[in-house]
């Protein structure tokens, strides 16, 4: 047996083992990087889904509030349209005034602002104490003006 061949074989084996270890370490490092990137991507996607779900829920709540407000305004409009005298209609007009006072976001619509300017919060008092200053078509005007009110 030739010792020079064993030494060369041993050196070659050691070099191969060392290179194999380096390659395995590099491969594991790349694999860990890929796993880490995939984990980050999953976390980002989960966060985006969560944000989208929260936005959808917020929008649903907002839509429900708008629908409730629209229903309430429709009730007032129906009550006012069905009124047969100016006194009762003025009570409903005051409730409509209070409705918009509590919900100023709907004042961006000019018909709503015009209604509040034309029929102030003390409209009922005007009808009770100074009815002669109002025209004989005040009830018809009020019924006409209430039809254009909106919340969306």
For 30-46, write each residue's pLDDT tens digit. 999 999 999 999 999 99
Domain count, the chain: 1
* Cα–Cα distance for residue pair 138/90, rounded to 1 Å: 10
- 52 pLDDT band, cuts 50/70/90, is very high
Per-residue CA distances from 39 to 25, 28, 32, 53, 81 (Å): 21, 16, 10, 21, 62
Q: Does residue 13 sit within a domain?
A: yes
Structural domain of 107: 3-146
Matching residue, tokens 């429900």: 64
Q: Does residue 151 sit within a domain?
A: no
Asked if pLDDT for residue 20 goes beyond 70, the answer is: yes
Q: Does residue 8 sit within a domain?
A: yes
In terms of Cβ atoms closer than 10 Å to its own Cβ (0-12, 13-18, 19+), residue 24 is exposed
Q: Does residue 152 sit within a domain?
A: no
Matching residue, tokens 């860990």: 32
Specify the pTM.
0.66
Q: Does residue 75 sit within a domain?
A: yes
Q: Does residue 10 sit within a domain?
A: yes
pLDDT tens sequence across 60-94: 999 999 999 999 999 999 999 998 888 889 999 99
pLDDT tens sequence across 95-130: 999 999 999 999 999 999 999 998 888 888 888 887
* Cα–Cα distance for residue pair 152/149, rounded to 1 Å: 10
């Amino acid at each position: 047996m030739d010792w020079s061949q064993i030494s060369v074989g041993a050196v070659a084996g050691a070099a191969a083992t060392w290179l194999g270890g380096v390659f395995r370490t590099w491969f594991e490092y790349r694999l860990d990087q890929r796993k880490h990137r995939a984990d980050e991507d999953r976390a980002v996607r989960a966060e985006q889904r969560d944000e989208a779900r929260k936005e959808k829920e917020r929008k649903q709540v907002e839509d429900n509030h708008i629908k409730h407000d629209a229903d309430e305004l429709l009730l007032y409009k129906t009550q006012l349209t069905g009124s047969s005298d100016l006194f009762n209609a003025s009570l409903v007009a005051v409730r409509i005034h209070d409705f918009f006072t509590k919900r100023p976001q709907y004042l961006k619509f000019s018909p709503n602002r015009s209604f509040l300017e034309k029929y102030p919060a003390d409209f009922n008092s005007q009808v009770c104490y100074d009815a002669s200053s109002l025209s004989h078509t005040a009830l018809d005007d009020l019924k006409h003006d209430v039809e254009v009110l909106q919340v969306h």
